Amino acid sequence: MKVLLSEKIDEAGIRLLKEHAEVFVAKNTSKEELVKSIKGMDAVIIRSSQMYDEVIEAADRLKVVGRHGIGLDNIDLDFVFSKGIKVVNTPTANSNSVAEHVIAMMMALSKKLVICDRKMKNKDLCVEGISLTGYAVSLGCGGLELKGKNLAIAGFGRIGRLIAQKCAAAFEMNVKVYDPPIYKKVELPEKYEWAESIDELVKDADYLSLNLPILPSTRNIINKKVFDEMKPTAILINCARGGIVNEEDLYTALKGNKIYGAGIDVYSPEPPLKENKLFDLDNIILTPHVAASTKESRTAMALEVAHGVIDVLNGKEPYNLVKPRK
């Protein structure tokens, strides 16, 4: 058996794969390279790069596509399934990493840590004869507390549930939840509330965490209309998928102080264009799609996708097998 990696994964996953198959790593993630490299392969594992239809067409032995991550928007699932090829992903491996990243952004924005750090390193606060604290606050270094605030969760899957649990336990936050109609509602823990729409979810939110997949129904779901409903002290966090938030509307909302701040880890397109106006704002924290990329989660994802691929190649049905949508 032969397995192609579109790019390297953690060594723990590679070692596991090598116990069952020959492992090859593509030179790069371009369409041309993958079309050339896929021939003779029984499996391919991709990270966030695109799984091109042309690569699937060129495959002559492919049985399974492994997605090193949760999101599947870089795979044309209908096309892959039409070829009789199975798909596995890593639904459990990076949930904690992403949840911690969301909470870190919430705290950093609330306490204005980036602004404070920048002002200290620029020596803006090195002024004799002043009260450091008072002067810092006058320059915008004062922050907000999380305790007892309203947390809105859009998307109540594994990551959404973890964020809610951690914030309710650590900061006594009030949790309200929204899931798109395509998902079956689950029973909520005591004191959590359901919102029937995005508008209802955001109305009283102090923090809005987006944990939704990118679907036709969720693309640009956070837009000017939603920002107009939010409190001026509200903070938005998106560590889910680029395209869920209309970036132009987000820029306008932040520039006009319609909301307090935003933490963004994902973009549309990726990588973001150099001309992206979000780079010009001070009330936003931007990270390069690394919420799921802790050392621990990279190892866990590599092992989870490797186990799934191996199971499929051995004729088994793994728990992380992606099922066609009905």
- Output the average pLDDT for the chain: 95
Phi, psi (degrees; rounded to nearest 5) at 51: -95, 90
Asked if residue 42 and residue 163 are part of one domain, the reply reads no
Same domain (yes/no): 72, 217: no
188 and 304 inside one domain = no
320 in a structural domain: no
Does one domain contain both 231 and 139? yes
Residues 308 and 233 in one domain: no
- Calculate what percentage of the chain has a pLDDT beyond 90: 93
Strand, coil or helix: 87: strand
Which three-class secondary structure string do you get for 117-168?
HHHHHCCCCCCCCCCHHHHHHHHHHCCCCCCCCEEEEECCCHHHHHHHHHHH
Residues 106 and 86 both lie in one domain: no
Residues 269 and 124 grouped into a single domain: yes
115 and 264 share one domain: yes
Are 169 and 47 in a shared domain?
no
Q: How far apart are CA 298 and CA 139, in angstroms?
A: 39
pTM: 0.88
Domain count, the chain: 2
| Coil/strand/helix, residue 25 | strand
CATH of the domain at 10: 3.40.50.720
Condensed to tens digits (0 to 9), the pLDDT of residues 290-317 reads: 999 999 999 999 999 999 999 999 999 9
Q: Which two tokens stand for residue 41?
A: 């392969």
Segment 177-189, tens digit of pLDDT: 999 876 767 788 8
Active-site residue list: 241, 270, 289
Residues 215 and 161 in one domain: yes
Domain of residue 102: give its range.
95-286
Residues 174 and 231 placed together within one structural domain of the fold? yes
